[in-house]
Structure formats: structure tokens, C-alpha cells
Chain A
Amino acid sequence: KAGVTQTPRYLIKTRGQQVTLSCSPISGHRSVSWYQQTPGQGLQFLFEYFSETQRNKGNFPGRFSGRQFSNSRSEMNVSTLELGDSALYLCASSLLGLAGYNEQFFGPGTRLTVL
């Protein structure tokens, strides 16, 4: 089985722009979660999508949004980019979602640099 894939792997944007990141989960997995990893803040949970519905959300501003498609692929969008949005964005998939006791499988991440 193919693992979790994320595209693009690297991205450079300037302040004020918007960006869309993509995540394809493991086949059959219905849950996709997104995380932001920075040296200063560490690893922070952004949100989880399950069966096209946002199931839970971390403490991030409304500039961070996401969606999930019927094939479970997910996209994350960040609008009006700020320098502090520079980070490694990880997505993870799980079979039944985080609400249960389910293992997550992480993708390699998208490294976003905001100039």
C-alpha cells in the first residue's frame, strides 16, 4: 500500500499571498489531520477531516482552512500569508479518525517558506 503523500514538498511564497497544500491519504483511510511544525512552537494540531466533514480544529486563525474530497484527499489553504506561517506542514491519515483509538500515518510534509 502506498503511504501518505503530500504535494508539493517545498514551496516558497511571499507575504500576503495564499497557498494550497495537498494530502493524499493511504487508500481506504477516511480521516486526514493536519499539523504545523515550527522550531519555536513545535508541533501543533490544525484540524481533522473525516468523510468530508471537519471533525475538530486546533487553535489557529481563520486564515487556515481545509477541505476533504469524496476520495478522502484533503487540501489545506492558508490565506494572507505571514512570515510566521513558515513551517513544515504535516498531514496524517487514519482509518477511522482520531476520535477513536486509531493509529495515524504521517506524510513527509510540505516545507513552506514565506518571504
Chain B
Amino acid sequence: AQTVTQSQPEMSVQEAETVTLSCTYDTSESDYYLFWYKQPPSRQMILVIRQEAYKQQNATENRFSVNFQKAAKSFSLKISDSQLGDAAMYFCAYRSAGRGTYKYIFGTGTRLKVLA
């Protein structure tokens, strides 16, 4: 069975600094998608970044980038130039790529605090 593990329940970063959130997963499938979602306090969850497993190039969205290591089954999120608005709960998620029955699994989340 697929699993997603976020081993850091809470992280802190100084404003303008860089922070990396860890995520590891386990699967026997070769094709899948990985996501990072952000859930700010009392606000809606939004997609931060996504990665297709067949792509070797790491995804990047402005200040957010991932380090995708397929062999190691690792998918970390790097936030550069951290801003106060980055404070949120971050969830790593795995979705199998099948068009029929698929699995959609989330990690337990990492709470990121940004210090002014």
C-alpha cells in the first residue's frame, strides 16, 4: 500500500530565509503524481506545486521548488525568500496515475511558522 510520510510536524524559518520541508513516500508504481498543498490558517487549501513522476526535471513555481528523487522516493519542498504569508500547514500528497481506480494519499502535514 502507498504511504506518504512528513516527518517534520513543525518548522520555523526567519523571514527572507530558505526552508525545506521533507516528504517521503512508498509505492510500487512507476507512474504517479506528487503534490504540495498549502493550507493557511482559516483559509482554503491551495495547490503549491506538482510533479509528474516520469519527469526528471524538478518542478518550480516562483519561490517554490521541489527536489524530486524518484529512486529514494523523496519529494521535498524548498521555499526561498520566505514571507509572512507563507505561514501555513503544508501537505504532501501522492496520487497514482491510473485512469480507473486510483489512490490519493496525503501526509500528516508540516506546520510552517515564519518569524519576522
Q: Which residues of A line the B interface, CB within 8 A? A: 3-4, 33, 42-45, 56, 58, 90, 92, 98-101, 103-109
The 18 sampled A-B contact pairs (Cβ below 8 Å) are: A4-B44, A33-B104, A42-B91, A42-B108, A45-B106, A56-B104, A58-B104, A90-B45, A92-B45, A98-B95, A98-B102, A99-B98, A99-B99, A99-B100, A100-B99, A105-B46, A108-B43, A109-B44
* Closest chain B residue, CB of each to CB of A104: B47
Cβ 8 A contact of B33, one of A4, A43, A101:
A101
Which B residues are in CB contact (< 8 Å) with A104? 47
Which residues between 34 and 56 of chain B lie within 8 Å of chain A, taking CB atoms? Answer: 43-47, 50, 52
Interchain CB contact under 8 A, A42 and B102: no
Which A residues are in CB contact (< 8 Å) with B50? 101, 103
Q: Give B75-112 as 1s and 0s: 1 = Cβ < 8 Å from A's Cβ atoms.
A: 00000000000000001010100111110111111000
Interchain CB contact under 8 A, A45 and B107: no
Interchain CB contact under 8 A, A106 and B46: yes
Q: Which residues of B line the A interface, CB within 8 A? A: 33, 43-47, 50, 52, 91, 93, 95, 98-102, 104-109
* Closest chain B residue, CB of each to CB of A100: B99
Interchain CB contact under 8 A, A99 and B102: yes
The 3 closest A-B pairs by CB, nearest first: A43-B106, A106-B45, A45-B104
CA distance A44 to B44 in the complex (A): 16
Interchain CB contact under 8 A, B104 and A101: no
Interchain CB contact under 8 A, B44 and A106: yes
CB distance from B52 to the nearest CB of A (A): 7
Interchain CB contact under 8 A, A103 and B47: yes
* Closest chain A residue, CB of each to CB of B95: A98
* Closest chain A residue, CB of each to CB of B43: A108
Which A residues are in CB contact (< 8 Å) with B99? 99-100
CA distance A56 to B98 in the complex (A): 11
Cβ 8 A contact of A101, one of B45, B52, B108:
B52
